[in-house]
Chain A
């Protein structure tokens, strides 16, 4: 490997990290503003214009807060758990592309950190590692609420992992590749000349299962049973304070970003905008518009996450398990067979 390739790898890693870490505060702010708006409140409005700098002030506050180590805690595990949760959440984004490859310094540079041929598996595999951090943190805390929250989180994550995995088999059958760039490329163009060729329309059942499972996988309401505050104080992070709590918090938002970007790639056509190639933009502008389109689609999915959180009440735990195992699992299997039959019929 040459020096330039190495430099590009490092620069890309830095860009993705900065991108993720700077999107998280914006999400925190928008979540607070949105919830305030939906509940007829004002929300943060003191720090900076429209409270935009509030997350920054929060970070400073977290840094200067006291760390409390509960008695009887597993010290190393307790300290390591927040990092073990945050790192996979950030890392999962590595395989997600945000635009067509561009030409820089006489070589092709993909707009993603790692253009691996098993991209979808990479995102799933690395993303699920975050469960370890949650369970370790819960166990290490020496707290009954934490333990129960961690158990709930683990059981919920593995239950919906199955549905999540099944929901995209239909997409893979249509694409024939696990590389996320190929999945997006297969969604270029339109059906019947006016409906975008997105998997949202080709795989509606898969889309439904994936979306619901994504809420469960990110521990977001209405599936936030792992931290159901009325029952479990704060669930797995009850004993965490100062920056350690903030890392758990950041991990949740990092997961949301990754899942939204993945959803955009798999079902919303990624950066493809139907009819854009007919407008006659230059190659540079074309790429910029595509990446902006990707950001807008992923941004809408993020908004949808927050919208749902402040609209729907929480599930009961038995309802959550019943929905995952008795509804979405059979539905996912049926979707695979249905896609197979339809593909065979369309031959």
Chain B
């Protein structure tokens, strides 16, 4: 826990620096409100409609693919860390991992064929 205490101290210090800079610039900078200064940038045109527009569903798809494959990568870590230690049973370990990756690659190929990885 000793080690995480320094992380906590560092977290507090870093947040403090960030917040202090924001507070400083808040009081040091000028404040001249009004006019059209507050309108969101839209390259010189008056903003049309709401800025929070519906966006492409592909971003959602990427999110789901990320969860599937990144969790897989984390599962690999656990296996990778002990692999060398149990190398005398390496063929078994490798076979098991090949099975796991094989099942995953099946899903990957399915996603590819369905066009989930295409972007246009």
Contact = CB atoms under 8 A, between A and B. Distances in A.
Interface of A: 1, 5-6, 9-10, 12-14, 16-17, 21, 62-72, 79, 82-83, 86-87, 90-91, 94, 113-116, 121, 139, 141-148, 151, 154-155, 158-159, 161-162, 165-166, 169-170, 172-178, 233, 238-239, 242-244, 246-247, 317-318, 321-322, 325-326, 329-330, 333, 336-337, 340-341, 343-344, 347
Interface centre among B15, B24, B32, B80 (most CB of A within 10 A): B80
A148 B54 CA distance: 11
A1 B3 CA distance: 11
Interface of B is mostly: helix
A68 B28 contact: no
11 contacts: A17-B17, A63-B21, A63-B24, A67-B26, A94-B7, A318-B119, A329-B69, A340-B94, A343-B90, A344-B91, A347-B87
Given A158-B62, A347-B88, A178 B81 contact: yes
B42 to A, nearest CB: 7
Contacts of A1: 1-2, 5
Interface of A is mostly: helix
A115 B13 CA distance: 19
A308 B104 CA distance: 34
A347 B83 CA distance: 12
Contacts, number: 221
A159 B18 contact: no
A172 to B, nearest CB: 4
Nearest to A93: B10
A247 B58 CA distance: 30
Interface centre among B29, B82, B87, B91 (most CB of A within 10 A): B29
Contacts of B106: none
B74 A247 contact: no
B37 interface: yes
Given A151-B55, A178-B81, A347-B87, A16 B10 contact: yes
A16 B17 CA distance: 13
Contacts of B17: 17, 21
Nearest to B49: A144
B84 interface: yes
A322 B120 CA distance: 11
Contacts of B103: none
Contact of A114 (B4, B29, B81): B4
Interface string B5-47: 1110111011101110110111011111000011111110001
A341 B6 contact: no
B10 A113 contact: yes
Interface in B89-104: 90-91, 93-94, 97-98, 101
Nearest to A8: B6
